[in-house]
A and B are shown apart, each in its own frame.
Chain A
């Protein structure tokens, strides 16, 4: 047993312990990402649902916005683009435009039990916004409007609200519930694009200069799961808009 031997042994033990510790920290990080972030979002969604239900239960005071921030952000107009044919414009429900606040509830009958806790859609797509739930890209159309409602959501982590969106098929209904309205969209197709394909978010997807005439919904998430290499895009078009108060839309019967 030499003095040098002790030093070497202590040094090696130190390195070994450090490596094992780092490995454990990384495992813990995986647990955090894959499990704990779901808990965070679950809590946020619970809070959002509560907020939304209590806000929706209150009558609208004339002269005051029905939802916070409604008259707020510039650049969002409830008016259809001039010149666009608008034969049967449904009543556009007032929806919140305050970043991070919920304004709609999404339901997709195809996904079955997923609808037990239908996600509340929030305004904004910042990292913080998306931790709360699927986010509506500010400046894109609002539910029911002519143009393109663009909603992005996590595929995995943070509740992964759009996790099973690869199962959606043309014809599937996507129902957005706002304060006063049910908007039923029908899936028209899905595709996988590069992360740079901003054109899918345009009012007329793929055409920056065209005047929108359709009421579209575009939902984006990442693809494949656990990767950011591509985007999964699910497109839908509005088929009906019904005021709340009556029966739930036909698409939701049996849910």
Chain B
């Protein structure tokens, strides 16, 4: 995969380096802005999938989010 990307990027060596950095930045931004916040609640220490409307489960949700 990485080999293919390197071969596909245009612009000779400088272009390839720049292109790689841009791709890397894009991937990191995607992860930080969308993917990590989305998967965070699915983890055991921040489980918000329980119903937060009821008093009993509210505590549960609150507590689990405090990890």
With known contacts A17-B1, A32-B32, A228-B45, A154–B59 Cβ distance under 8 A: no
From residue A208, how far is it (CB to closest CB) to chain B in Å?
Answer: 11
In the bound assembly, the distance between CA atoms of A155 and B61 in angstroms comes to 15
Q: Which residue of A lies closest to B67 (CB)?
A: A228
In the bound assembly, the distance between CA atoms of A198 and B10 in angstroms comes to 60
How many residues of chain A get a CB closer than 8 Å to chain B's CBs? 34
How many residues of chain B get a CB closer than 8 Å to chain A's CBs? 27
Instruction: Say yes or no: B59 contacts A196, CB within 8 Å.
Output: yes
In the bound assembly, the distance between CA atoms of A49 and B67 in angstroms comes to 24
From residue B51, how far is it (CB to closest CB) to chain A in Å?
Answer: 12
From residue A18, how far is it (CB to closest CB) to chain B in Å?
Answer: 8
CB contacts (< 8 Å) of A195 on chain B: these are 59-60, 63-64
Q: Which residue of B lies closest to A201 (CB)?
A: B59
B13-67, CB < 8 A from A: 28, 31-32, 36, 39-41, 44-48, 52, 55-56, 58-67
In the bound assembly, the distance between CA atoms of A195 and B32 in angstroms comes to 29
Residue from B31, B45, B55 having most chain A Cβ neighbours under 10 A: B45
With known contacts A17-B2, A25-B31, A226–B45 Cβ distance under 8 A: yes
Contact with B along A87-102 (1 / 0, CB 8 A): 0000000000000000
Instruction: Say yes or no: A222 contacts B63, CB within 8 Å.
Output: yes
In the bound assembly, the distance between CA atoms of A126 and B32 in angstroms comes to 20
A214-232, CB < 8 A from B: 220-222, 226-228, 231
Instruction: Say yes or no: B52 contacts A154, CB within 8 Å.
Output: no
Contact with B along A154-197 (1 / 0, CB 8 A): 11110000100000000000000000000000000000000111
What does DSSP make chain A's interface, helix, strand, loop or mixed?
A: mixed
CB contacts (< 8 Å) of B44 on chain A: these are 228
Instruction: Say yes or no: B64 contacts A33, CB within 8 Å.
Output: no
CB contacts (< 8 Å) of B66 on chain A: these are 130, 152-155, 162, 220-222, 228, 231
A19-61, CB < 8 A from B: 25, 28-29, 32-33, 36
Question: Which B residues have a C-beta under 8 Å from some C-beta of A?
Answer: 1-2, 28, 31-32, 36, 39-41, 44-48, 52, 55-56, 58-67
A-B contact pairs, 14 of them (CB 8 A): A17-B1, A29-B31, A32-B36, A33-B40, A127-B65, A153-B66, A195-B64, A196-B56, A198-B55, A222-B67, A226-B45, A227-B45, A227-B67, A228-B63
